[in-house]
Chains A and B, each alone.
Chain A
Amino acid sequence: MVHRSAWKALLALAMTAGLLASAGACGSNGGEATTDANGKPIVKIMITRWSTDIPMKDMAWTKDIEAACDCTVQWEDLADSAWGQQKSAKLAAGELADASIFAFDPGDALRYDYFENLTPHMKAMPNVKKFLDTNQSAKKMVANKDGSVFVLPSDRSKNYRVSTNHILINKKWMDKLGLSMPKTWDDLTNVLEAFKTRDPNGNGKADEIPFNMNRLDTGGFTLWNPFVFLNSTGITTSFAGTSPAAQGYYVKHGKVGSFLVAPEYRQVIDYLHSLMVKGLIPKDAMTRDDAAITAAKTGDGKTAKSGMIVGWSKTDFEKLKDEYVPMPVPKATASMSDSDVTWDYTQDLTELSNHAIAVSKNAKNKDALYKAINAMYSEKVSVQQYYGTIPKDVADNGNGKYRVSDTCYDNDPKTNCTAIADRFAGWIPDHANVENDQAAEALHEADVAYTQNLANVDPIKDVMPSYVRIDSEADQTTMSNNNTAILSYALGQTAKWIQNGVNDKDWQDYLKKLEDPSLGLNKNIGIWQKYYDEYTKDAK
C-alpha cells in the first residue's frame, strides 16, 4: 500500500520536473519585429507611473499619436515602485525601450552612454524646437554645455507657475473669534492659542489642532515641511523636487549657504518649540502617521479640526475647503522690514520637469519615433495627455481654448478622465487656455496671497535656479554621501529640539559638529557655489 502510492507519487513528480525543465529551455524568442502586420513601423515607449491601473493603450488620445507617426506604439507601463528596482538591471542589460518617459534625467544621460543626442534632430520635431526656443528655463534644465540635449523637458503651462508650498489657515474660525490675519510670529501664536482655547468649531470639545504640522522626514526637507517659516526670516526656501533646499542649501545675494547652520534656522526651531510647549502643535507631531495628519485635515467633512497647515492648496481639506484661506507668511519679529520677508520659490519646479522623455540610441524606427514625439509636444496632444481625451473629457473650444469636463472631478471610476497628468511628455504653451483645471485654480488662488513676499525674491540671486546641475559624477557622489550623514544628524537634533527646546551650548556643539570637515558640509557648499556660479554667469 504505502510503497505503491509512494512510487506513483515519485514518478509523477519526476515527470513534472522533466516537463518543467524542457519547457523552461525553450522560452527565449528570436529577433523582435520592427514592423506590425500592416507594415507600419513599431515604436516602443516605456512610461513610469504611480500606478498602472489604466494602461496607456486604453487611453483614447494615444491613437492621435499613432495617427501622426503612422506607426504602432507599443506602450510599456511601469509602476514607479517597479522601475526603482528595475532601473539598474535594465541599464546593465541594455534593455531600453525606444523612448522612455519619466525614467531618465540629464544626469543619467551623461553617465550612461545609451541615449541619442536630440539636438541634431530638432528639424524632425518642430514642436519640440519651438518649445525649447520659447521657454529658455526649460531648455537650460536639459541642455548640456556643448548644446546637446538627451532628455526633453515638459511644461504644464502658466497654470502651474506657482509655488508648491502654501500656509492655509481657517478663516471661518478667525472670523468667528474676531481675529485678524497675523502679521508676525507673535500674532500667529495668539491666533493659534485662541483656536485652541475658544472652541472655534463649536462642538464643545477641545479637539482643535491649531497647527496640524507635518512631521520631519529622515532623508531631507520634503514638500510642506514647517521650515517654510525660514522665509519669515529672509531665507528663501525651495522645498520641491530636486531642489538642493531638500538638503538644506539656499542662496542669498548670489552666495550659497546651508540653513542648517544659520541662526535663522535656530529661530524657527525656537518658534516651533514655543508652539509645541503651548500645545499648539500636537505632542506627537514628530511621530504621527501620515494617515493621522490627513484625517485631521479633512475631519468628518462637516466639523473642521485643523487651524493651520502647510500644504498645497485649500483642496487639501476636501469638503471643508471653503473654510480655509492662504496666509501670507508672517514676519519673524515686528521690527523686521517687510521687504526682508520672502516666500518659497518653486515656480520652475512646479511648472517644468527635466526628465520627460529620452530616446535610446538603438531605437529601430527613429523617424517614426521623432514623429511620435513631435505629436506629443503638439498643443492638442499635450492637453490630452495631461487632462484627458478630447472631446470626452476635455472640450476643445477652438483658438487654444479648452475646458476640462466636470465629470473629471466626480470621483466616479466610470467617468474618470484617463490621462497621465504630470507624467506627460508635452508642452502646454502659455497661449493655450485650459479652463476648469480645479487644481490649478486653487493653487493660483493660494499663490496670490504671496505676491508681495515673492516680489522680494530675485529668482537668480536668491534661489538656486532649477537649471543649475552638478555635472561631475565625483562631485555628485561626494555630495550625496556627505548629505546622508549631515541630514541624519541635523534632522535628528532638529526634531528633538522642536520637541524639547535647545540651549546655547547644544546649539554650539551642533554647529561645531556640522562644521567639522569630516561631515563635509563646507565642502558641499563649495561644490554648489562652483556650479551655481558656472550656470548663472550669463544670467547675472
Chain B
Amino acid sequence: MSGSIPAVAPAKPRGLKATLPSVSRYWQLWLLSIPALFFVGLFAYVPMWGIQLAFRRFEPSKGITGGRWMGLHYFRQFFSSPMFADIMKNTFTISLSTLVMGFISPIVLALLINQLGSSRVKGFVQMITYMPHFISTVVIVAMISIFLNPGNGLLGRFLGDTSLLGNPAWFAPIYWITEVWQHTGWNCIIYLAALSSVNTALYEAAKIDGAGRLQLIRYVDVPTILPTCGILLIMNMGSVLSVGFEKVYLMQNALNAGASEVISTYTYKIGILGSQFEYSTAIGLFNTLTVQYTDQFRLPGAGQLHFEADLQHQHFLKGDCHVSIT
C-alpha cells in the first residue's frame, strides 16, 4: 500500500496557511460532509445553550437564560446528598457489568454464527437471536418477574422461596443477563457485516496450510473484526454511567432499593416528581462530565443530559431503541 502515491495526497500542510488550499483541494469531501455538519450544528449545537439550566434557577417566564445564576449550587446539593455514594456505586456496578458482558457476548455470538456451515441455519439463528431486541422493557420486566416467581416460575421454583428480585446482590446480574439476552443478537449484526468482508480465499489458503477451526477463528476472523470491536468498545465506554432508566425503575422494589437506586432513578424521583428541573439537569450534566473524565480515548458514547428525554435520544443514537410501551 505504500507503493503508489495518491495524486491528491497532501504534503502534510501545517498551520493556518494550509487551511485554505486544503478546502479547495478537498472541496468534494467538504461537500459530502456539509449536510451532516448542518444537521449536527442545528439540532445538537443550537440547543446546547440549555446546559446553563444546570447553573441557574428555572424561571420559565424569564426564559432559560433569565433565571438567577446559582453557580455550582445544584452540583454541591447532589454531592452532599447522603445517597450520593450509594448511587454512584450502584450505577457503576450495574453499568460496568452490563458494558463488559454486553461487549463480549455479541463478538462470541458473531464468531459462532460465522462458523455455522449452512447459510440457511445461519439465517435462522440470526433471525431468532435478533428478535428479542424488539421486546418492550415493560414486557421484559414482567417476564423476569413471572419466571423468577418462587412458587411456580420457570426458574424461580428452583431458587428457594423468595424471589431473586428481592435480593440486592442479584440486581446487577439479573440486569446484565437480561440485557445480554435481549441485545446480543442485535449487536452482533455489525460484527457479522465485518466478517462478511473476509476473503474466502484466505480461509482456503489457511485450510490448505492445515489450520484448524479454532485457528481460523483466531487468525482470520478475530483480526477482521478487531477494529470494529475497538470502536464499539470505545463508544460504549461513553455510556458507562447511563443505565437505562425504565428497566431499573420497573425492576426496583423496596427490598432491592439499596442496590437499584441509580443516577437516573434518583434524578427522576427528585427532579421530575419534585419539579426541580435545574437540579435534575445538574445531575445529568455531572453524569456526562464524569463520563468524559473517565474516558481516556476521548471518543465517548451516548452520555446525555436529561435522563428521560435523552434516554430515548441516546438509545436512538445507538440504534438501540425499544418498543417502549409504558
Contacts and interface: CB of A to CB of B under 8 A. Distances in A.
A91 interface: yes
B61 A114 contact: yes
Contacts of B166: 284, 286-287, 495, 499
A499 B255 contact: yes
B230 interface: no
Interface in B43-76: 58-61, 63-64
Given A84-B272, A112-B60, A485-B82, A292 B254 contact: no
Interface stretch (B10-18, B144-152, B217-225): B144-152
Interface string B278-311: 0100000000000000000000000000001100
A477 B163 CA distance: 36
Contacts of B269: 219, 484
A494 interface: yes
A203 interface: no
B197 interface: no
A477 B273 CA distance: 11
A4 B110 CA distance: 35
Contacts of B61: 94, 112-114
A492 interface: yes
A68 B321 CA distance: 48
A218 B163 contact: no
A219 B255 contact: no
Contact of A488 (B58, B162, B257): B257
Contact of B83 (A216, A289, A485, A494): A485
A66 B176 CA distance: 55
Interface string B250-292: 0011111110010000100110111111010000000000000
Interface size class of B (residues with CB under 8 A): 35 or more
A499 B166 CA distance: 10
A488 B87 CA distance: 11
B142 interface: yes
A373 to B, nearest CB: 23
Contact of A480 (B35, B151, B253, B276): B276
A491 B254 contact: yes
B200 interface: no
B199 interface: no
B83 A488 contact: yes
A52 to B, nearest CB: 15
Interface string B81-97: 11100000000000000
Contacts of B276: 477, 480
A448 interface: no
Contact of A217 (B254, B258, B261): B254
Given A91-B60, A484-B83, A286 B308 contact: no
Nearest to A496: B255
A30 B56 CA distance: 32
A499 B162 contact: yes
A288 B145 contact: yes
Contact of B60 (A92, A288, A499): A92
A389 to B, nearest CB: 31
B277 A215 contact: no
A518 B61 CA distance: 34
Contacts of A495: 166, 253-255, 257
Nearest to B86: A488
B35 A492 contact: no
Given A284-B149, A292-B145, A480 B82 contact: no
Nearest to A17: B35
Interface string A280-316: 0001101111011000000000000000000000000
A339 interface: no
B326 interface: yes
Contact of B255 (A92, A287, A485, A519): A287
Interface string A476-515: 1100110011001001101110010000000000000000
A496 B253 CA distance: 11
A335 interface: no
A217 B257 CA distance: 10
Interface string A10-37: 0000000100000000000000000000
Interface string B11-50: 0000000000000000000000001000000000000000
B308 to A, nearest CB: 7
A491 B149 contact: no
Given A286-B255, A484-B83, A94 B60 contact: yes
B163 A92 contact: no
Nearest to A111: B275
A267 interface: no
Contacts of A289: 142, 145-146
A88 interface: yes
A488 B261 CA distance: 8
A487 to B, nearest CB: 9
A111 B275 CA distance: 11
Contacts of A136: none
B72 to A, nearest CB: 16
Contact of B273 (A94, A215, A219, A518): A219
Nearest to B38: A21
Nearest to B312: A85
A415 interface: no
Contact of B254 (A113, A492, A519): A492
5 closest Cβ pairs, A-B complex? A495-B254, A480-B274, A91-B60, A216-B254, A287-B163
Interface of A: 17, 81, 84-85, 88, 91-94, 108, 111-114, 215-219, 283-284, 286-289, 291-292, 476-477, 480-481, 484-485, 488, 491-492, 494-496, 499, 518-519
19 contacts: A88-B60, A92-B63, A216-B254, A219-B269, A219-B273, A284-B162, A286-B253, A286-B254, A287-B165, A287-B256, A289-B142, A476-B274, A481-B270, A484-B274, A485-B82, A485-B83, A491-B257, A499-B162, A499-B255
Given A88-B58, A284-B149, A476-B274, 14 more contacts: A81-B326, A92-B64, A114-B61, A215-B253, A218-B254, A284-B151, A286-B253, A287-B165, A287-B256, A291-B142, A292-B145, A477-B274, A484-B269, A495-B255
